[in-house]
């Protein structure tokens, strides 16, 4: 209760976070904007505490905000030139909830422009560097958020996950990264990539910290009709068996996966066996179609969502145009990154007359098969354990000219997004050269809380929250 007892001030916590943010920014390129005004917000919290007023469960906790969340603080650019200079008139629901609980945003984090990418190399503001090796990628698209947590600048950061954009950077930076069940947290006020697979989630240093964040942000939102009725706060099963059946997918353990990742998976399997859990090997051949289906469905939605950026309503406007058609053409040509354009073109192609049935409709059917495959798997086991990606952090620039190789990084993450399932990236050791390795726990829909609790159990964590780990107010949520 050090903040509540005025032993430590919120100002000091935020000041320390800002100092770290400025210190690491030059080398790692984590932020698109650092919020030095956060100190004023921290001072307000300290004043409330001094006056005996009630403060939220995240009072004084500094956090980093992925730069595709709308907020009135700073510009929301999604790391894209076409949104440079855009100040949002609204605030995302998740930001409102976090800040109502007392969290303080100390900066906006870098990402692949519009979240299109797996390495944060597609940002208009340059690449974010890996937390363990400045010559390697941070993962994407939420690379800035992952590195901010990995370098202990902040205790948690927000992210979005459309096909692995939280789990991939979490995995290769050695932190926890949660993609909740689709619809658990409101997407209102978050710049859309693909509306049917976008999920809001978090990066943390401890699995148990995710529980508090989910308690604060989960729930139905009338501004987002895809949000589910609140299930996260439901009381867990009274006699939930501590011994779990863990499914291991044979199809994901092959020569395309780095040997050190396969070794980390085998070590975790042995650890689970030794602690009494049952391992069930599964064949899920339908998942091989997930990547192809994803890169038909998602670009189609991207093409639709990005059509609003035309240089007329807001954001960047080309000055090289004399007619309206030229304005549209030049603004979009100058404002979008190459990967944005690639996905728009693919999306418009698969939705065009004569190709819709051949591509989009087949992809939608494959998506249904993938959902059915997972449902069958969870009839046999409680959770699945898989690699997050096929390789540790790769060298900067090594795949930028090979989009297919880059897309293959998503092979083991995109199936969850197509099926709407929760997934949690957990640290699983390091390579011989010191790079982080992660694995992912996958559960059936609405099993988010069980996954978090199981991951905390595996890590030997008590049921602490962010408040406890910072010793801010000593309050724990009752289970």
Q: Which residues are catalytic?
A: 66, 141, 165
Q: How many CB atoms lie within 10 A of CB 357?
A: 9
Rounded to whole angstroms, the Cα distance separating 243 from 240 reads: 9
Question: Token pair 């205790």 is at which residue?
Answer: 155
Rounded to whole angstroms, the Cα distance separating 442 from 180 reads: 10
- Write the Ramachandran bin of 74: left for phi over 0, alpha for psi from -120 to 50, otherwise beta: left
Cβ neighbours of residue 390 under 8 Å, at least 6 residues apart? 256, 257, 258, 261, 408, 409, 411, 412
Rounded to whole angstroms, the Cα distance separating 317 from 342 reads: 21
Say if residues 438 and 388 touch (Cβ distance below 8 Å).
yes
Beta pairing partners, 190? 69
Rounded to whole angstroms, the Cα distance separating 416 from 20 reads: 34
Say if residues 102 and 58 touch (Cβ distance below 8 Å).
yes
Say if residues 134 and 120 touch (Cβ distance below 8 Å).
no
What is the length of the chain?
479
Cβ neighbours of residue 263 under 8 Å, at least 6 residues apart? none
Say if residues 50 and 59 touch (Cβ distance below 8 Å).
no
Say if residues 442 and 425 touch (Cβ distance below 8 Å).
no
Rounded to whole angstroms, the Cα distance separating 133 from 433 reads: 10
One DSSP character per residue, 189-241 reads TB--S-TTT-EEEEEESSTTHHHHHHHHHBS-BTTBTTPPPP-TTSPPPTT--
- Write the Ramachandran bin of 79: left for phi over 0, alpha for psi from -120 to 50, otherwise beta: left
Q: Which residues of 11-49 are buried (b: 16+ CB within 10 A; e: fewer)?
A: bebbbebbebbeebeeebbbbbbbbeebbebbeebbebb
């Amino acid at each position: 209760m050090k903040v509540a007892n005025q032993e430590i001030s919120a100002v000091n916590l935020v000041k320390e976070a800002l100092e770290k943010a400025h210190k690491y920014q030059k080398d790692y390129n984590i932020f698109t904007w650092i919020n030095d005004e956060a100190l004023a917000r921290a001072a307000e919290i300290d004043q409330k505490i001094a006056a005996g007023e009630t403060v939220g469960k995240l009072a004084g906790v500094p956090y980093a905000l992925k730069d595709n969340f709308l907020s009135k603080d700073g510009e929301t650019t999604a790391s894209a030139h076409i949104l440079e200079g855009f100040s949002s008139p609204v605030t995302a629901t998740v930001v409102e909830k976090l800040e109502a609980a007392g969290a303080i945003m100390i900066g906006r984090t870098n990402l692949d422009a519009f979240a299109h990418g797996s390495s944060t190399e597609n940002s208009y503001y340059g690449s974010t560097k890996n937390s363990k090796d400045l010559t390697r990628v941070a993962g994407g698209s939420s690379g800035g958020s992952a590195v901010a947590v990995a370098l202990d600048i902040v205790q948690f950061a927000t992210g979005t996950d459309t096909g692995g954009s939280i789990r991939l950077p979490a995995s290769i930076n050695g932190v926890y990264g949660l993609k909740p069940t689709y619809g658990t947290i409101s997407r209102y006020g978050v710049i859309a990539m693909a509306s049917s697979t976008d999920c809001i989630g978090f990066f943390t240093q401890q699995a148990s910290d995710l529980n508090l964040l989910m308690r604060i942000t989960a729930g139905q939102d009338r501004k987002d009709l895809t949000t589910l009725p609140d299930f996260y706060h439901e009381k867990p099963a009274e006699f939930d068996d501590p011994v779990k059946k863990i499914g291991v997918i044979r199809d994901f353990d092959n020569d395309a996966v780095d040997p050190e990742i396969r070794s980390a998976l085998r070590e975790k399997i042995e650890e689970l066996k030794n602690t009494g859990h049952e391992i069930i090997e599964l064949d899920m051949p339908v998942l091989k179609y997930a990547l192809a289906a994803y890169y038909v469905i998602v670009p189609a939605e991207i093409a639709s969502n990005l059509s609003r950026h035309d240089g007329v309503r807001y954001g960047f406007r080309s000055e090289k145009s004399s007619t309206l058609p030229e304005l549209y053409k030049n603004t979009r040509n100058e404002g979008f990154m190459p990967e944005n354009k690639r996905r728009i073109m693919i999306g418009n192609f698969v939705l065009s007359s004569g190709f819709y049935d051949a591509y989009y409709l087949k992809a939608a059917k494959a998506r249904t098969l993938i959902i059915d495959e997972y449902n069958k798997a969870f009839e046999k086991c409680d959770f699945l354990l898989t690699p997050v990606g096929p390789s540790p952090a790769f060298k900067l620039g090594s795949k930028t000219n090979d989009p297919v190789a880059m897309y293959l990084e998503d092979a083991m993450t995109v199936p969850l997004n197509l099926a709407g399932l929760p997934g949690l990236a957990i640290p699983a050791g390091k390579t011989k050269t010191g790079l982080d390795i992660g694995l992912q726990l996958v559960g059936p829909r609405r099993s988010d809380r069980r996954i978090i609790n199981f991951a905390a159990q595996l890590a030997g964590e008590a049921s602490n929250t962010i408040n406890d780990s910072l010793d801010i107010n000593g309050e724990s949520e009752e289970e």
